[in-house]
Chains A and B, each alone.
Chain A
Amino acid sequence: MATDQEPNPGIEAPESLAITVRLDAFEGPLDLLLHLIKREELDIWNIPIARVTEQYLNYLRMMQDLNINLAAEWLVMAATLIYIKSRMLLPPDPQPAETGGEAREDPRAELVYQLLEHQKFKNAAQMLYTREEVENAIWCKPPAEVLEGEQNVVAVSLFDLIKAFHEVVRRFEEAQQAMEVEQEEVTIEQKMGDVRRLLMVHDTILFSAFFEQSRSKRHLIVTFLALLELVRLREIWLYQKRIFDEIFITKGKADSSKA
């Protein structure tokens, strides 16, 4: 059989270490292989494939014993290892390829390439980790509270709001001569979603215009409560250019300040 079949510490090691195996320690098959190579201090350019395959399969069995659901890529790697192992056993082709002179390619070459490539990106990830740690230790000035655009804006008081809402209800009642009343359930959350969507398209919405699609008093009230809730969450601003003027709805600072 394979050349490296001598009594081998790696085989019983996983047994005794079984408890210490953490699934998240090996994220994927390549990580496990790199771990095995490192632990056994193997030469990555000359991997004893039979030994590594055996250990790899041992780990797989252990994981199955632990009822860990193995993703397909683990089995694909097992198959690849066994395939390489069997190719290593074949004697070199006595007749060199017709193109001539080309040395037999090491069946392990692709796997080694993959492992080195993977290790490179693991190192790169480590570098990102360190950089993130440094960046997490840095603060910038919090954004200044500037309300862009309009210069003479007046924050809307609750009384203005209620007055505006009354106006909306009054207009609604006027318009509603013989409208069919249908039972519709709108929740505040739904209405809040509508506001957010509208504000993605428009910078500002006219407060009164916003109630125009409402078809029932209940709907009006729900809409009004949704606006109040969004104000409380600082997702929207309500302002007017002069006192008693039209009220406008615009995006608040809450979502942009996270940047």
Chain B
Amino acid sequence: MEIEELKTVIEAIVYVAEEPVRAEQLKEVFPEESFDKIELALQKAMDDFNARNAGMWIREVAGGFRMTTRPEHHEHIRAYLKTKPGARLSMAALETLAVIAYRQPVTLAEILAIRGKKSSGALHTLLEKKLVSIVGRKPVVGRPILYGTSREFLMHFGLKDLAELPTLEEFAQMAEEKA
């Protein structure tokens, strides 16, 4: 298949997909095409689509490609849908989540040490919202549960992967400036 044609088909697939579309999934659809070519077409589908500056855009989220509306249109979209912004995570939950994201896999006791306060309530919320999951047990006395972020976490914060997060050192500089 010509790359241009492949690109348009992929665009259509990204449109109908409920989840971010990954190159591996497309390989199953186009078994005769090489993986490299599929990746290239996928990238091209995103670049060309976004170059149109349309109301939608394709972005890389949680290891895949996803078509969404643009954030700058949110007011009008909300007015049309007649919805209000959804419930936000509390600052306590976000702080706990930040500790887990940067220190994973991490135990509840380690979270407590960093935050200087009990975090079980916040952790419970995060588990319930599936932003955090149990990733194992630490091989020490008591075998405490280890927590890590989930794919849902990447989706929720629109991250391609964990590497897209700024490094903690960048926050350290900010911290010293602020303090």
Which A positions have Cβ atoms within 8 angstroms of B? 27-30, 34, 37-38, 44, 71, 73, 77, 114-129, 131-141, 143-144, 259
Contact = CB atoms under 8 A, between A and B. Distances in A.
Nearest to B19: A259
A143 B17 CA distance: 8
Given A116-B175, A138-B69, A132 B157 contact: yes
Contacts of B66: 140
A77 to B, nearest CB: 7
Interface in B149-179: 156-159, 165-166, 168, 171-172, 174-176, 178-179
Given A121-B102, A122-B175, A141-B18, 11 more contacts: A44-B179, A119-B171, A120-B168, A120-B174, A127-B165, A128-B157, A129-B89, A129-B94, A136-B86, A144-B16, A144-B18
B135 interface: no
B68 A140 contact: yes
Interface residues of B, number: 45
Interface stretch (B5-13, B27-35, B111-119): B111-119
Contact of A71 (B72, B88, B118): B118
B54 to A, nearest CB: 14
A71 B67 CA distance: 46
A128 B98 contact: yes
A200 to B, nearest CB: 16
B98 A135 contact: no
Nearest to B119: A28
A120 B171 contact: yes
Interface of B: 15-16, 18-19, 66-72, 74, 77, 85-86, 88-89, 91-92, 94-95, 97-99, 101-102, 114-118, 156-159, 165-166, 168, 171-172, 174-176, 178-179
27 contacts: A28-B115, A28-B116, A30-B115, A37-B179, A120-B175, A121-B95, A121-B102, A121-B115, A124-B102, A124-B171, A127-B166, A128-B94, A128-B98, A134-B71, A135-B156, A136-B74, A136-B85, A137-B71, A137-B72, A138-B71, A139-B77, A140-B18, A140-B66, A141-B18, A141-B67, A144-B16, A144-B18
A132 B16 contact: no
A137 B76 CA distance: 10
A132 B69 contact: no
The 4 closest A-B pairs by CB, nearest first: A28-B117, A137-B74, A119-B175, A124-B98
Contact of B97 (A125, A138, A139): A125
Contacts of B114: 117-118, 121
Contacts of A27: 91-92, 95, 117
Contacts of A124: 98, 101-102, 165-166, 168, 171
Contacts of B156: 132, 135
A63 to B, nearest CB: 14
Contacts of A128: 89, 94, 97-98, 101, 157
Contact of A115 (B18, B19, B67, B179): B179
Contact of B95 (A116, A125, A133, A137): A125
Given A28-B117, A77-B116, A125-B91, A119 B178 contact: yes
A113 to B, nearest CB: 11
A47 to B, nearest CB: 10
Nearest to B116: A30
A37 B175 CA distance: 12
Contacts of B117: 27-30, 71, 73
B156 to A, nearest CB: 6
Given A73-B118, A144-B16, A132 B176 contact: no
Contacts of A135: 71, 156-158
Contacts of B18: 140-141, 143-144, 259
A108 B86 CA distance: 43
A124 to B, nearest CB: 4
A132 B116 contact: no
B88 A136 contact: yes
